[in-house]
Amino acid sequence: MIQTIQNVIESRASVNNFQTGRPLGNEVIASLVSQATQAPSAYNMQNWRFIAVQSEDAKARLKSAAFGQQKIMDASVAFIICGTLAAHTQLANVLKPSVEADIMKQATANAWVAQASASHEGNSVLQRDEAMRSASLAAMTLMLAAQGMGLGSCPMSGFDATQVAREFGLAATELPVVIVAVGYPAIENSPQKVRKALPEVLSIV
């Protein structure tokens, strides 16, 4: 059944129990990440990286860094989604394909690089904020992609970032923002929790 984006959003719930022993093929993993990279990022910096943890050894190391959460072992794959710092230094190269595809003019790309460099250079707070924003947008896009493919997912913030960085060889500029476990949901899962009423969260001005 083809699902509309509204169906996907409204049916998504965080999965805590996965069917074990059901790996995903590399092509499925690649498709999930490809869809995740369609998420927006400031200046199109694409300041993210994805580590697909699927081997038993790698899962065990990630489980240890995530305070023993079993869903990492049970899920088909657990994505470590990192935001990258100092992404402005790579922006010219990142924008080059868009210039070559005539999606943007070289003058526009140069202006973006200049603006990003002026605001981000030496500003560690802004770099971290952008890394967090971009990785979070990519993570949500990946979860919606998984839902649309008949899979379940669960975002996880409970982990030791220093241990994750050490175990998986992250660069100093790579900030592990969230782990997203993806796989086939088991029967024992709760539906989406009730959300706040719109008047509590919405102001129209």
Tokens for 196? 């706040």
Q: What pLDDT, in 10s, does the model give residues 154-184? A: 999 999 999 999 999 999 999 999 999 999 9
Per-residue pLDDT at 129: 98
Strands (E), 54-138: 77-84
pLDDT band at 3 (very low <50, low <70, confident <90, very high): confident
Contacts of 145 (CB under 8 A, 6+ apart): 31, 32, 35, 36
Looking at residue 1, its pLDDT comes to 53
State residue 2's pLDDT score: 60
Nearest to 85 by CA among 39, 40, 135: 135
Q: Any idea which residue has 């660069």 for tokens? A: 171
Secondary structure (3-state) at 78: strand
DSSP state of 155: E
SS (H, E, C) 4-57: CHHHHHHHCCECCCECCCCCCCHHHHHHHHHHHCCCCCHHHCCCEEEEEECCHH
| Percent of the chain whose pLDDT exceeds 70 | 99
| Cβ neighbour number for residue 68 with a 10 Å cutoff | 10
* pLDDT per position as a tens digit, 40-95: 999 999 999 999 999 999 999 999 999 999 999 999 999 999 999 999 999 999 99
Which CA distances in Å does 201 have to 13, 14, 159, 185? Answer: 20, 21, 29, 30
The model's pLDDT over 105-127, given as tens digits with 9 standing for 90+, comes to 999 999 999 999 999 999 999 99
The conformation of residue 185, written as its DSSP 8-state character, comes to: B
CB 112 within 8 A of CB 91: yes
Residue 171 CB coordination number (10 Å): 11
CA 20 to chain centre: 23
Distance CA 5, CA 50 (A): 23
